Structure 1
C-alpha cells in the first residue's frame, strides 16, 4: 500500500449513524468522511472516503499526535462516542442524527457533533470542509450571524449552527482551534437546506442546549425501539446491534430499505468492482422485513409492502429488482472520473445498471412479503390479491427464461437454479394464500407450473455425478445461493442432496473459513473478497442439519469480520483481515441474525422467513 493510499482509513475504522432519512460514516479519528443529506442516495456533502483531497469532510480531533482513541455506541442506540486521551486531558466527541417523534413527521434532519471536556485540557481542531456534487463544487461559505453559517453551491445547501469561534477560510471551509477544559461543552448542528430557502434560516441560540436536548430524545427514541423487541429469548449484543443497523437502513418517509449507505467501496482494491448500494433492492429489503418481523417489528413489513405496490404501479410486468428510496425506477449508472476512489480504486459509480436486469427471484420475494403480511393476521384484500395474482402469473410465464441471477452477473444470462427455485416459491406461496384466504386463482395451472419447475431443477439443476445442486443449468459450478434452497422449502435441510451440496460448498468455495459467492467466471475483471453473508447462510444450514460444532466454528470466523462496533461490510479478505465492499451491509447483518438464532435453537420464527404459524411448507 502506498503512502497516498494509507491516508484512507480502513473501512473497519468507520462508525455508521442515521436518522432513517440521512446517513453518515464517522472515522475513528473523529472525521465524518461520508454524509448524504437529505436522503441516503443524495449527493454527498462530505465524501473524502472516495477522494481524500477533493471529497470534503468534517473533522474534530486533538492538535497533538500524542493521543489514544477509543469509541463505542451509546448502549441501545446509534449514537457514536469517541474519546481522545492524552497526558494533558481527555475529550469526548458524540455524533448522531437527531431522532424524535418528529422524525416520522419529516422534521428537518439534524446532524449533531458535541464536544465535551472530561479531564484536564486538550486543544481541539475543528475543520468543516463541505464539497457538493460529489466533490465537484466548492460551496460559497458565509456567516449569517448569531453562530450560524451557510454553505451553498449547485442545488445544495448546508446550514451550520455552532457555539465555536469558527473562521471562514477561502476555498476551504471553516476552521477553529480551541482548548476544551473539563466540564466545557461545545456543539455543531448541521442541516440540509435548498439554496432557495437560504433567507429563511433562523438563528439558533443556546446551540449546546439544543444539541443536548437532541441527544436525550435520540437516546430515548432508539431505546424505545430496541425495547419493542419481543422474542421469547434474550438476544446477544451483536444481534441487537445488527437489528439496529437494519432499522437505520430504512427510509422512514416511504418505507424503502437501502442495501448499504455507501457507493463504490471496492470489493477488491483496484479491481473495478465498485457499485452503488444506496438503493432499495426488493430481495434484500424482503430479507430485512422478515428478519425484523421475526424480532417483533411488524411496521416495517407493512411500510415496505406499500412501497413496492406504489413503485411497481401494482403491475408485475412493471416490477424491477430495485428502486430509489422515493420509488424512482430510473437509476442510470454513471461513472465520476474526477474522483480517485477509495484507496485509488476507480471507477466511482452512482446509479446501478442492475436495476434493469431480468432477475426472476423477485417474484418469490414479493410472495414472501405477502406471506409475512398474511401470517401476521392481515387480510389480503382483493386489490392486493390482484397484484399478487399478477406476480404469480408472471413467475409462471417467465420461470423457464434465463436471467442474471441473485449476483447480478454482467455477462450472458443463465438458467440459475436459485432464480427458478424462487419462481417455484412464488407459485407455491400463491397457492397457499389463495387456499388459506378463499381467494380466486387458477390453482390447477399454478400447481402444474410448480411441478414443472421442480422437475426442471431436479433434472437439470442437479449433477448426479457429484450428487449436488449446481449454479445453473448446463454447468457444474457451485454457488452459495444454493444454501438458501432449504429456507424456501424447496428441499429439506437434511435431504442427502443438500447435505452433499453443503459439503461441496465448504470444500470448494472456502477461503480461510469464509465463503466465496461462486466459482464460475462472472464477466468482470479482477477478483473479489469472500462474501460474508454466504458464510452466515452456511452456519444456518449446518445448524438446521444438526452439525452444531461445525456451525459454531464457521460462525465465529464470520463474526470476527465485524469491526469493534459490531458493523459488517459486504466482503472480507481473510488473508489480510481487511473489510471490503460497501459498509455497513444490510444483507450481512440480516444473515448474522438468522445464523445466531439458528445456533441458539431459536430460529423457528425465521427459518423460512415467515410466521411460526404458517403451514404452507
Structure 2
C-alpha cells in the first residue's frame, strides 16, 4: 500500500473516515473494524448482531472507540499477515517506526470449546513493536454500551495495569503492559516504544464478571501463534493457482470472518446502516443471515476449497431455518431467529450524518421467490461435489420443491428487496425454474421418490416459456426487470450463470450488451436505474459491486476473455489496500459505500476469478457451469 498521512492520536480534530480506510479482524463470533489510524470504530459483543461497544463509525462523537496510535503525525501503511486475518499496521514518524498487530484469537474448534469453558471468546489483542528509533504512542479506550447510549466510569485494577468498564452484568476488561489512567468515561495510557521493544494490550468482553479468565498479556503470544497457524492451514485448502489466487484467498478469508461458528450461519456483512448514498436513507442492518447470500457464500467457499463451512451451512438451513415448511423466511438471525423487527436508533447521527441508523431488518417479512432457487442450487452443488453423499438433504428439501411448483406464479419483492409493490420479477421466475430443475435432476440422478415429478417438469417448462414470452422485450433487446417492463436490471446477468440459458444464446448475448450499454459506467455496473424503478425510495445509488463481477463471468463464459480480463483488473483496483470491498462503489471517485466488508461483493470476486481461470484452461470442464442447458 502507498503510505498515507495520519494525524497523531494526541492532536485535535477528527472526522468520519472513508469506509475504504477500514480493515476487519474477527473470531467467527463477532468482528471489529479498524481504521488506518489504529482506531477500532465498530465492534459488537458477543455476537455480530449484539449491541455495539464501539460505534464511532455511526456517530463520531458519541459512538465509542478503542484507538492505539502514534501521538504525532505519521505515515501509515498496512497489510494482512499473508494468508491470515491478522492485521499489520506500520507507523513511520520522523523519530522512528513501529508495527501494530491486531487480531481476535481464533483456534480450532476443539480448542475453542476449551476457551468457551473458561469464559473465552470476544477478545481483541493489540501488540505494538518497535522497528527503529522510538515512537510515542497513545492508547484511548472509550467504550459506549447499548449502541452508544451508555458510557461508564472505568475502574483501575492491578496497580493501574488493568481497567474495567462494567455496565450492569456485562463489561470490558483491558490488560496492559503500560500503566493506565482514567479520564471521565475513558481510559488512556501514553508510552514510548523503542526498537525491539513490545507493548501488548488484551481486551476482553464478559457477560458475567465471574467469568473473567485469569489471563496475562504474556498469553497473547500463544494466541497469536495459534491464530496464525489456524488461518494459514485454512488458506492452504484453496485449489486455484495463477494470477487471481491471492484475490481468491483474501476474499475467502473475508467470507470466513462472516461465518458464525456456533451455528454455521453467514452474515451478509458485520455492520449496520453504512449508507448507499451519503445523506441518503438506504441504510440497512446486514448482520443477519439471508438465505440467498448465505447460499452463494457457501458455494463460493466450496469453490475455494472450504467444504466444511459449506456443509455446516447446509445443516444450519435444515435444522434452523426449517426450509421444509412453506413459511420460509428470506432472512434469519444467527441461530435461526425469525423475528428481526426493524427499529431506528435516533440517538446516533449515522455515518457522515446519514440517518437513519437501523437495527433489525424489515425484509424478514418479505416473500422472495429467488431464495428457493438459491438454496436448491446450493444443495445441488453440494450433492454433485460429494458433500451430501447420502442425499439426505434432498429428502429434507422435497417439500420446498413442491411449494415452488405450486406458487411460482406469485409476485414478490425480488432479489433487491424493493420496498414498493410486489411484481413479477424476471429474476425471481428464473430462480423458481432453478428450484424445480435442481429438484428434478436430483430425483432422476439419485432415483429418489417424488410423487409430483411429472408436475415439476411441467411447471419448469411453463416457467421457461413464460419468461421468454413475458420477460423478453423485443424493443429493448433484452430480458428486463419484470414482466411488461422496459427497465433493465443487472440481475438478468445471472440467467446464464444458473444455466437457465446458454451464455452464448442470442438473447443472453443481447441482454449482456444492453446492460453494458445502459447500466455500466467506468467498468462499474448499477443494479438498475432507481428513477425508473419503484423500489420505495427514488434515491440515486452507487454501482453495485457484485453486478460488475456477474458481467465479467458472462464475458468469460461467452469466450470474450480479453474483455473479461480487462474488466476484472479494473474492478480489482477498487478493492482497498487490504483487499476488501463494500457493497457499492461510487462511480468517478471509487469511494466505497454501503455495509463493509460485504459478502456479496467477495462472492463476486471469487466467482469471476474462477470463471477467468476456467476460461483460460483449454478443453477443461467447469463443474459449476456445465453445458447441459435447455434449448
TM-score, L = length of structure 1: 0.94
Report if the CA contact (8 A) 2:323-2:400 is conserved: no
Alpha-carbon distance in 2 for matches of 1:155, 1:531: 42
Please give the alpha-carbon distance, in whole angstroms, between the structure 1 residues aligned to 2:49 and 2:622.
28
Asked whether the 8 Å contact 1:368–1:609 carries over to 2, the reply is no
Does 2:215 align with 1:204?
yes
Q: Secondary structure at the match of 2:132?
A: strand
Could you tell me how far apart the structure 1 residues matched to 2:145 and 2:365 are? 28
State the distance in 1 between where 2:556 and 2:322 align: 40
Counterpart among 585, 602, 610 of residue 598 in structure 2: 585
CA displacement at 1:518 relative to structure 2: 0.9
Is the CA contact 1:277–1:582 (under 8 Å) kept in the aligned structure 2?
Answer: yes
Whether 2:177 is the aligned partner of 1:163: answer yes
Name which of 570, 575, 579 aligns with 2:588: 575
Q: Give the Cα–Cα distance (whole angstroms) in 1 for the partners of residues 490 and 537 of structure 2.
A: 18
Q: Are 2:318 and 1:309 equivalent residues in the alignment?
A: yes
Q: Give the structure 2 partner of residue 351 of structure 1.
A: 360
Do residues 362 (structure 1) and 375 (structure 2) align?
no
Distance 1:48 1:230 in 2: 39
Show CA shifts across 1:535-578 (max 9, x none).
11001101111112221232222212111111011101122221
1:547 and 1:5, CA in 2 relative to 1: closer, same or farther beyond 3 A? Answer: farther
Matches within 5 A, 1:85-484: 85-101=92-108, 102-103=111-112, 107=116, 108-109=120-121, 110-145=123-158, 147-154=161-168, 156-170=170-184, 172-194=185-207, 197-205=208-216, 207=217, 209-231=218-240, 235-379=244-388, 384-441=393-450, 442-484=452-494
Give a deviation string over 1:79-126, Cα, whole Å, max 9, x none: 111111112111111100011222366631221011111111111010
The count of residues paired between Structure 1 and Structure 2 equals: 606
The two structures, once aligned, show a CA RMSD in angstroms of: 2.2
* Distance in 2, Cα, partners of 1:5 & 1:501: 50
Contact kept, 8 Å, 2:425 with 2:482, in 1: the verdict is yes
Contact 1:260–1:278, Cα closer than 8 Å, also in 2: yes
Among 529, 534, 544, the residue aligned to 1:531? 544
Matched, 1:69 2:82: no
Deviation at 1:244, TM superposition (A): 0.9
1:9 matched to which residue of 2?
17
- The 3-state SS of whatever aligns with 2:228 is helix
Taking structure 1 as reference, are residues 477 and 298 closer, same or farther at Cα in structure 2, changes over 3 Å only?
same
Is it true that 1:496 corresponds to 2:537 in the alignment? no
Assess if the C-alpha contact under 8 Å between 1:487 and 1:609 holds in 2: no
Counterpart for residue 42 of structure 2: 34
Secondary structure of the equivalent of 1:600? helix
Q: Distance in 2 between the 1:159 and 1:609 partners?
A: 51
Counterpart in the other structure of 1:78: 85
Contact 1:233–1:602 (CA<8 Å) still a contact in 2? Answer: no
Compute the TM-score of the two structures, normalised by the length of structure 2.
Answer: 0.92
Q: What do residues 284-317 of structure 1 show as CA deviations (whole Å, max 9, x unaligned)? A: 1111111111222111121011111122235331
Tell whether the 8 Å contact from 2:291 to 2:371 is kept in structure 1 after alignment: yes
User: How far apart are the structure 2 equivalents of 1:236 and 1:189?
Assistant: 33
Consecutive unaligned residues of structure 2, counting only runs of 5 or more, are 1-11
State which drifts further: 117-126 or 154-163. 154-163
Name structure 1 gaps, 5 residues minimum.
none
In structure 2, the CA distance between the partners of 1:381 and 1:204, relative to structure 1 (3 Å rule), is: closer
